[in-house]
């Protein structure tokens, strides 16, 4: 026997995810403000390192296949 559940929203279908994301971002901001990271380990610095390492890895892979005309 199949049960039918009625979807229940706090705000609305689109308002609930937006509300959840805003609460999550606010809580992260408050946590970082109350527990700061050491110098050089901020979120932006860590993200830049991660992106750079990902792209530098891909550049090495692509350099094998791309012929440069000199």
pLDDT digits (tens, 9 = 90+) for 38-54: 887 877 888 888 888 87
Q: What's 10's DSSP letter?
A: S
10 half-sphere exposure, CB direction, 13 A CA radius: 6
49 half-sphere exposure, CB direction, 13 A CA radius: 7
| Angle CA 70–52–57, to nearest 5 | 60
More confident residue, 67 or 31: 31
- In the chain, domain spans: 15-63
More confident residue, 58 or 14: 14
- The rounded distance, in Å, linking the Cα atoms of 28 and 39 is 18
pLDDT tens for residues 26-38?
998 899 889 888 8
């Amino acid at each position: 026997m199949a049960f039918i559940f009625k979807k229940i929203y706090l705000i609305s279908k689109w308002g609930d995810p937006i509300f959840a994301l805003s609460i999550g971002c606010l809580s992260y901001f408050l946590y970082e403000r109350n527990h700061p990271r050491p110098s050089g380990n901020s979120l932006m610095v860590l993200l830049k390192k991660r992106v750079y390492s990902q792209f530098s890895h891909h550049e090495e892979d692509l350099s094998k296949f791309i012929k440069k005309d000199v």
